[in-house]
Structure 1
Amino acid sequence: MAAIDWGSVPTWFSAIGTTGSLIATLTIVLRDRRKDEREDAACLAIWVDPDEKFDSWRPVLRLHNAAGRPVFDVILHCVWFDRDVETGERWTEMRREPLAAVVRAGAELKLPGSYYMDHVTFRDAHQVAWRYDLENKILTREPDRLLIRTCRSTQSWVRRQRTRVVRAWRRRRSDGGEAAPEEAS
């Protein structure tokens, strides 16, 4: 039995060093990309002005877009608490109030708020969805609903195709053709 030739030690160190530098480069590139994405979203200032009233009872919600690009689909999410009169049971409801379709670069808006404001969602110029929590003043990236919807629709398409193929095989079998494959669950 012949001995296995593993190559030279410098070749192994070179391969490990190259792989490590590639991983470090990819990590840095991804970190910088996330930082650039967040930069535009962080330039949208959102605050509640409790001293000023929009009308007789609603506070003013102010938005100032200090970014160089517009933001889109600004929506205020409000939580409403109530109690059922008959049963005394408490319930909550999340309401969405569209505020602005587009907030231009450098624009400042004065919008009607609500006493039950929870968070504001918007999309930046790259169509990335963001959520700004009004109570904790935290900006977070929202999961991409379109991607989630696309994955779900793809899964259901695959399920429909599998069902269609199994039914076709069963029809062929009942007509005296080939044997049907077992249906996978």
Structure 2
Amino acid sequence: MAGSVARHRRPSMTTKCPSSVRSGSPTARTLLSTLVSTAQIDYGDVPTWISSVGGLLSLVAAGTAAWIAWKLLVTERTRDRQAADDARRAQAGLIAAWIPDATDREGLDQATIRVLVRNNSTLPVYRVLVAIVVRSDDGFTEVASSGGPQGRFREFAAPGDNEIRVMVPATTNRRRVVLTFRDAAGVEWRRDHDGALTELPA
């Protein structure tokens, strides 16, 4: 009818899909497949993750505790060895010898000199032998001994000062003393001309 009122259609509210999705293009299918695959991955649950982390931390803690225990054991054993060595050297460290008179130390002529052996311990030491040495091209050379040519030892040196006399030849170098002895425990020691104390082989 010419006089009829034209009816207006309401606009459609439906969102149109892109033609690429409607047509099922390869790009759209790939994207959709990726999203679906990601959604299907099993990441586990929170308790499982907590349990795994807790187990790892326990393992680390156990390893750390074992390392600390080992270090403490090594330190304790080192301390024990040092204490045993100190105890072994206790008496020997208190024994020394020197030439008290400057004239005897520096004298150029043959003479009988006095050597003082001091035992600051409370027990005697045994098989005491004093050697007189002088500097040479090879270091130090022995020129005389309290034991004489036969190398006889003095039987013992009591606590306190013990005097030993030694016949020495003429020399142009300063005389020094090397002392050997056996402590009350039966260990042999050498006190060198520079004061160094060394345990001798049995």
* TM-score (ref. length: structure 2): 0.51
Given the superposition, is the C-alpha separation of residues 102 and 37 from structure 1 closer, same or farther in structure 2, using an over 3 Å criterion? same
Q: Does 1:32 align with 2:79?
A: no
Q: State how 1:78-93 maps to structure 2 within 5 Å.
A: 78=132
Note if contact 2:98-2:177 (Cα within 8 Å) is conserved in structure 1.
no
- Once superposed, which parts of structure 1, at least 4 consecutive aligned residues long, lie more than 3 Å away? 78-81, 92-96, 114-118
- 1:142, CA displacement in angstroms? 2.8
Which one has a bigger Cα radius of gyration?
2
Q: State how 1:160-175 maps to structure 2 within 5 Å.
A: none
Matching residue of 2:61: 10
Question: What 5-or-longer segments of structure 2 have no aligned partner?
Answer: 1-54, 105-109, 136-140, 169-174
Question: What 5-or-longer segments of structure 1 have no aligned partner?
Answer: 82-91, 147-185
Note if contact 2:114-2:163 (Cα within 8 Å) is conserved in structure 1.
yes
**Distance in 2 of aligned mates of 1:99 and 1:108:** 17
Q: Does 1:62 align with 2:116?
A: yes
Q: Does 1:132 align with 2:191?
A: yes
- 1:114, CA displacement in angstroms? 4.2
Q: Percent identity, please.
A: 20
The total of aligned residue pairs comes to 126
Given the superposition, is the C-alpha separation of residues 49 and 72 from structure 1 closer, same or farther in structure 2, using an over 3 Å criterion? same
Given the superposition, is the C-alpha separation of residues 93 and 112 from structure 1 closer, same or farther in structure 2, using an over 3 Å criterion? closer
Matching residue of 2:37: none
**Distance in 1 of aligned mates of 2:144 and 2:98:** 19
Matching residue of 2:164: 111
Matching residue of 1:20: 71
* TM-score (ref. length: structure 1): 0.56
Note if contact 2:123-2:184 (Cα within 8 Å) is conserved in structure 1.
yes
